[in-house]
């Protein structure tokens, strides 16, 4: 599976969850905030009306989330869980060993929205320096890439298995 720099890989479940959240924010939740603002405005002087300012702040955060969701869904590439073949691709939980530091890291290659609620697994974008370098490589391979700092980093792919929520 190849991705351009703007694509976000999502499972169908994650895509559906985000779509439902967007519909809720643009429908009932938007109407709810408009009612709060209107009720607070009716109370009088807006300069000292903390309810009005709180509702406007909530509206701003909600509208920002709506824009974020619309952008993510527009750029989404919906895919199935990848096969358990040891090849690194979006949707895989990857374990690498950073050879210079002899440290292991385990992460999901994909988007944070694919994680099950409460899952504390780190997430690396396929467009990140490491994500782009290891994408398409297999368990057992060693890959060297240039980190954002310009330093070369060498990682050994220890494992790659499909993420299961």
More confident residue, 75 or 44: 75
Q: Which domains does the chain have, with CATH numbers?
A: 8-79 (1.10.287.180), 92-162 (3.10.50.30)
Burial environment of residue 131 by CB neighbours within 10 A (0 to 12, 13 to 18, 19 or more): buried
pLDDT exceeds 60 at position 155: yes
Query: Tell me, what's the pLDDT at 1?
Result: 40
Note the pTM of the prediction, 2 decimals. 0.68
pLDDT exceeds 90 at position 19: yes
Query: Tell me, what's the pLDDT at 50?
Result: 83
| β-strands 122-124, 103-109 pairing | parallel
Q: Give the pLDDT mean for 19-23.
A: 95
């Amino acid at each position: 599976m190849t991705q351009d720099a703007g694509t976000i890989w999502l499972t169908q479940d994650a895509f559906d969850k985000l779509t439902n959240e967007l519909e809720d924010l643009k429908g009932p939740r938007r109407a709810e905030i408009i009612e709060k603002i209107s009720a607070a405005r009716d109370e009088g002087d807006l300069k000292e009306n903390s309810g009005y300012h709180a509702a406007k702040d909530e509206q701003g955060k909600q509208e920002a989330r709506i824009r974020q969701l619309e952008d993510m869904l527009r750029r989404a590439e919906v895919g199935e869980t990848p096969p358990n073949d040891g090849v690194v691709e979006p949707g895989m939980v990857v374990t690498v060993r950073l050879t210079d530091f002899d440290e292991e890291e385990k992460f999901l290659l994909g988007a944070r929205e694919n994680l099950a609620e409460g899952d504390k697994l780190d997430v690396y974008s396929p467009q990140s320096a490491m994500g782009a370098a290891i994408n398409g490589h297999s368990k057992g391979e060693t890959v060297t890439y240039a980190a954002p700092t310009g330093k070369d980093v060498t990682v050994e792919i220890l494992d790659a298995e499909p993420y299961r929520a």
